[in-house]
Amino acid sequence: MAKVKLALPPLVFGNSRPKIDWDLDQMLVRVNSITNWVSEFDFLSTELPFQHRTSALKVDDLRMMAVSSTPTVMKVYSPDCTIAIAIEGVVDTWIDNKLFKIDPGKYAVFYPKGKRHTEGLIKTCLLISISEESLNKTAKAMLGDKEGVDLDLNTPRRLSLKVGKLDFTAIFIQTAQLIDQFKGDELLLKSLGIDDSVYRILVMMLRPELFLEVSLKEKDFSSTHTLDLVCEYIQGNLNKPISLTTLEALSGISARTLQLAFIRKFACTPMDWVKAQRLAYAHQLLLSATSSTKIGVIAATCGYSNFGDFSRYYAKRYNELPSETLAKALKGD
């Protein structure tokens, strides 16, 4: 029998490269391999031919799955916490016989690790499986709380997708567009820090009131000593990934305060300063190069895993390509 192409809603990311399953067994194997779930699926309607489309991204302990499917019912045991966001179509979930309705544009649902039962008609969703340890570590760094932050990761609940001026659906759609722009390349997205960005968004979704409180109570940051420590750390770790979360954890102050401190002292953000230090170090290494010097090695030494990005940023800053600087150095100019 010919496969019927259904007019399913588009995936939030990965529409150009979806995995399409035409039967439940095939889909079950794929979903369990992506998510680490132990699950069972069944048809919710016999009026439509079954079809299930997925696109997945895994960066360290963060797993994201875009799903679009015909009506299904599923029973899941998950060893991880999960956030479910419906982009189109309402999804109902029961945990301990309590109903949680996922409404597009209004509410997402947070699932603790454990069992759940979910039903939905034609829909497209974004599912994010998350590490409790990484989530707590990110929250602690963001809020500068040495004792830790209670994210209440044992309680299933609906999460508002609109808080004040924030629209989390729009934020995740923008994140999905970024994933597509990088063609889903997990190494490039890891270099970009996509996992850190997603964890930050999720922390704000789970406890938005903490950030509203911080925004009212933020204190000026005037400790030159602490800022110097942050700068010394950056300069000593230019060959490693450096995120804003790392700098928050190191300094014990929030991102907002850290941003203000760098803007006041250097007229740029912390991450712009990191980029400037990487390029300055690369420039120094190229100027002192020998005949055995490799530009790719210098790029990696300065924290760039993508040679094209390194060349582009370097040329923009120094008005010449790294190869031109190297050639001049070898000529003794």
Quote the pLDDT of residue 332.
Answer: 73
287 lies in a domain? yes
CA 277 to chain CA centroid, Å, is: 25
What's the rounded Cα separation, in Å, for the pair 256 and 86? 31
Per-residue confidence of the chain (333 residues) as pLDDT tens digits? Answer: 455 556 789 999 999 989 999 988 899 888 888 888 898 888 887 778 889 999 999 999 999 999 999 999 999 999 999 999 999 998 999 998 888 889 899 899 999 999 999 999 999 999 999 999 999 999 988 887 656 678 889 989 999 898 877 899 999 999 999 999 999 999 999 988 999 999 999 999 998 877 764 443 444 444 567 888 889 889 988 988 898 888 887 887 888 888 888 888 888 899 999 999 999 999 999 998 888 889 999 999 999 988 899 999 999 999 999 999 999 888 875
What's the rounded Cα separation, in Å, for the pair 271 and 242? 8
Quote the pLDDT of residue 147.
Answer: 62
CA of 151: how far to CAs of 80, 82, 268, in Å?
A: 15, 13, 32
286 shares a domain with 156: no
Quote the pLDDT of residue 217.
Answer: 42
246 shares a domain with 143: no
What's the rounded Cα separation, in Å, for the pair 65 and 265? 41
Q: Which domain holds residue 233?
A: 219-333
CA of 51: how far to CAs of 7, 11, 31, 70, 237, in Å?
A: 10, 13, 13, 6, 48
Quote the pLDDT of residue 219.
Answer: 45
Quote the pLDDT of residue 258.
Answer: 87
223 shares a domain with 120: no
Model-wide pTM > 0.75: no
User: Are 62 and 195 in contact, with CB atoms under 8 Å apart?
Assistant: yes
318 Cβ partners below 8 Å, 6+ apart? 279, 283, 325
13 lies in a domain? no
CATH of the domain at 235: 1.10.10.60
Amino acid identity for residue 79 in this structure? P
237 shares a domain with 90: no
- Name the domain count of the chain: 2
